[in-house]
Structure 1
Amino acid sequence: MKKLFFRDQFSLIFLNIIQLTVMVLVLWLSGLREVSLIFYLLFLSILFLTGYLVYRYVTLRKFYQRLANPIAWLEEVFETFDEAPLSAALSELLKTQHRLYISEIAHANSKKNEHMTFINQWVHQMKTPLSVIELIIQEYEDEQILSIREETDKLEKGLEMVLYAARLEVFEQDFHVKSVGLKRAVEQVIRDNKRLFIKNRVYPELDLSEVRVESDEKWLVFVINQLITNAVKYSAGKAHKIYILEARTAAGVQLLIQDHGVGIPKSDIKRVFAPFFTGENGRIYRESTGMGLALVRDICDNLGHTVEIESTPGKGTLVKLTFPS
Structure 2
Amino acid sequence: MNSRRYWKNRLPFLLTNLVCMAALTVFLLVCGNSVSAVVLILIVWALILLTGLVLTYWKRKRQMKKLLDMAEQLSERYLISEVMELPEQAEDQVYYQLLKMAGKSMLEQIGEVERERLEYKEYIEQWIHEIKTPITAMKLLCENHRTDWTKELLLELEKTNRFTEQALYYARSEHTEKDYSVREMALSQVVHQAIADNKYLLLQGGMRLEVEEMQDTVYSDEKWVRFILNQLIANAVKYRTEQPVLRISTHKRQDQVVLVMEDNGIGIAASDLPRIFEKGFTGQNGRMVQQSTGIGLYLCKRLCEKLGIGIAAESSEQGTAISLAFHINCLIHEVQG
TM over 0.5: yes
Please show how residues 78-227 of structure 1 align to structure 2 within 5 Å: 80-227=85-232
Distance 1:89 1:57, change over 3 A: farther
Task: Give, as a single letter, the amino acid of the residue that structure 2 aligns with 1:35.
Answer: S
Any conservation in 2 of the 1:235–1:261 contact (CA below 8 Å)? yes
Could you tell me how far apart the structure 2 residues matched to 1:8 and 1:234 are? 59
Residue matched to 1:41: 42
Could you tell me how far apart the structure 2 residues matched to 1:233 and 1:64 are? 57
What SS does the aligned partner of 2:123 have?
Answer: helix
Residue matched to 1:281: 285
Any conservation in 2 of the 1:202–1:236 contact (CA below 8 Å)? no
Residue matched to 2:333: none
Shift of 1:195: 2.6
Any conservation in 2 of the 1:264–1:281 contact (CA below 8 Å)? yes
Q: Per-residue displacement from partner, 1:196-223 (whole Å, max 9, x unpaired)? A: 3333232322225332334322211111
Residue matched to 1:304: 308
Q: Percent identity?
A: 29
TM-score calculated relative to the size of structure 1: 0.81
1:70 equivalent to 2:85? Answer no
Could you tell me how far apart the structure 1 residues matched to 2:183 and 2:80 are? 37
What SS does the aligned partner of 2:323 have?
Answer: strand
**What number of residue pairs does the alignment pair up?**
317
What SS does the aligned partner of 1:248 have?
Answer: strand
Residue matched to 2:322: 319
Q: Per-residue displacement from partner, 1:171-228 (whole Å, max 9, x unpaired)? A: 3322344443322221221222223333323232222533233432221111111112
1:235 equivalent to 2:240? Answer yes
Any conservation in 2 of the 1:78–1:95 contact (CA below 8 Å)? no
Shift of 1:50: 3.8
Could you tell me how far apart the structure 2 residues matched to 1:190 and 1:153 are? 12
Could you tell me how far apart the structure 2 residues matched to 1:196 and 1:18 are? 84
Task: Give, as a single letter, the amino acid of the residue that structure 1 aligns with 2:320.
Answer: T
Could you tell me how far apart the structure 2 residues matched to 1:106 and 1:131 are? 38
Any conservation in 2 of the 1:201–1:236 contact (CA below 8 Å)? no
Any conservation in 1 of the 2:214–2:249 contact (CA below 8 Å)? no
What SS does the aligned partner of 1:220 have?
Answer: helix
Residue matched to 1:258: 262
Structure 1 residue runs of 5 or longer lacking an equivalent are none
